[in-house]
Amino acid sequence: MLPELRISIDCDAAFRQPTQYTLATLALIAGRRVRFVSRGADLHYGPSSIPGAAWLPASSAAPTLLRRESAPTEVQDLEAFGRRFLSLFPVSTDTAPASDIVAATFFFLSLHEEWTTARRDQFGRFQSADSLLGKRGEVDRPVVAEYARVLAALLEQQQGAVSIEPRFAGRSAAAVMTHDIDYLSKFTPGLLFRELVKNFLFNRRHVSTADRARRLREYLAYARRRQDPYIVSITRMLEIEQRHGIIGSWLFKAGGSDKRDVTYSLESQRARDALALLREAGQDIGLHPSFHAHTDAAMLAREAARLRKAAGTELRSIRQHYLRFVYPLTWRQQSAEGFFADSTLGFAEQEGFRNGVCHPFLPWDLEAGEALSIWELPLTVMDGTLAHYRGLDPATSSARISRLLEVVAGQEGVAVLLFHNTSYDVHDFPGWGGVFERAAEEMSDGRFMTDSLHSVTLEWLRSGGYASTGEFLQVINSVPTE
């Protein structure tokens, strides 16, 4: 169990609960379990210090700004205790840190900028270019972990060094391999038309007749289930993950009515075989809801019920199709449906840290003024981001994945990787089997716990001494003790 940190707070009464939520989350990242007190504090957050306690200064301007649909205007890099951090709310004091890191942490955890920004892409998604970190070219920067490091350094200066055991089953960090199962057959009318008419007859690829004939023969062989690259990818990825001791999260579709929902029947032989294979291998099976389910609670419930029945197991993990997400509605629906962990929070067009977070956290609902009971593990990098949105080749993509794993390991956080079951499709994703294999090998090099979204989050919570999500929520909502 982590050492206890007694915290007192002097802030606007309307911000008491958000402040407790933020401090409990920040302290958990910094390696402390918290108790909120009215006296005898180890740490005090407020406009002025109190005797005997380490002091985190509070900005008088932060509560007003966080109530408005506006962004911080005094953003700059500062340093405290030899550690760099991003200051959003500077404070006039000679005592480090000369900035309100609690309000800044809340700004990122609460997705304040998404709540207050109307601009979205054609799929209704908040974009990297509209985020504070995106505008600064720093989406690779997990700024909330930086704030936690500043807090840990402040406490060490005040109380001395504290020894903390590795937080992830004996590892200092975690990496989760996830797979969105969008397709189970490549032999479809649309793709048959593409290969027979566009590629073979009209030579859209501008290759030789022999090359066109070879590709068509290979494509026609996909009609046989065991040769379909989408089925081959599931089998090969599972074999490689088992070889490396990785337990992944495999997220299946269970419906859909939009043209971007390339659906399959969970009662089909392909689906039954895949689900049985993964279930028997002890993998985490979760839901990948359809295109419109991110705002349709009834649709989400129907799809979850279908997959529970087909998989024969409880569903704990979820990620929305196309990373479609409406704050805070999508999280509310997922929580109400009983999901434990989501990993939708990533930019489709840019790898990195969408809200500057690389640790599991409970979302804060700015509209309801409360924490939600579902854990978010932000998506760090997706194959489609690198291959399609960014147009990177396999070698450069592997280097980007390696760099992000290095960043997360340095912050003792959690990296979430997404590889679709298209990695071994040599026609449309040449070289991506190798990218996946290098990522799996690097994940298993000893730095990371390599388990599912659900298991990694449970380990993170338990490492803090919390037996359940409910116990952590009780701390957030507690009344300060004497």
Per-residue pLDDT tens for 386-402? Answer: 999 999 999 999 999 99
CB 6 within 8 A of CB 38: no
Based on the domain organization, do 140 and 178 belong to the same domain? no
Domain of residue 319 covers: 173-187+222-463
Would residue 209 count as lying in a domain? Answer: no
Q: What is the pLDDT of residue 72?
A: 86
Got the DSSP string for 402-455? HHHHHHHHHTT-EEEEE--TTTT-TTTSTTHHHHHHHHHHHHTTTTEE---HHH
Based on the domain organization, do 133 and 182 belong to the same domain? no
Would residue 235 count as lying in a domain? Answer: yes
C-alpha span between 360 and 292 (Å, rounded)? 26
DSSP state of 84: E
Based on the domain organization, do 247 and 140 belong to the same domain? no
DSSP state of 295: G
pLDDT tens digit sequence for 126-163:
999 999 999 999 999 999 999 999 999 999 998 888 88
Based on the domain organization, do 134 and 183 belong to the same domain? no
Say how many C-beta atoms besides its own lie within 10 A of residue 362's C-beta.
24
CB 427 within 8 A of CB 219: yes
Q: Could you give the number of structural domains in the chain?
A: 2
Would residue 303 count as lying in a domain? Answer: yes
Q: What is the pLDDT of residue 64?
A: 77
Question: What is this structure's pTM?
Answer: 0.96
Would residue 481 count as lying in a domain? Answer: no
Based on the domain organization, do 142 and 177 belong to the same domain? no
Based on the domain organization, do 153 and 178 belong to the same domain? no
Q: What is the pLDDT of residue 364?
A: 96
Based on the domain organization, do 136 and 260 belong to the same domain? no
Would residue 165 count as lying in a domain? Answer: no
The CATH number assigned to the domain holding 422 equals 3.20.20.370
Three-class SS of 12-76? CHHHHHHHHHHHHHHHHHHCCEEEEECCCCCEEEECCCCCCCEEEECCCCHHHHHHCCCCCCCCE
C-alpha span between 162 and 179 (Å, rounded)? 38
Q: Which residues are bridge partners to 365 per DSSP?
A: 370
**Mean pLDDT score across all residues of the chain:** 95
Based on the domain organization, do 59 and 148 belong to the same domain? yes
Based on the domain organization, do 240 and 134 belong to the same domain? no
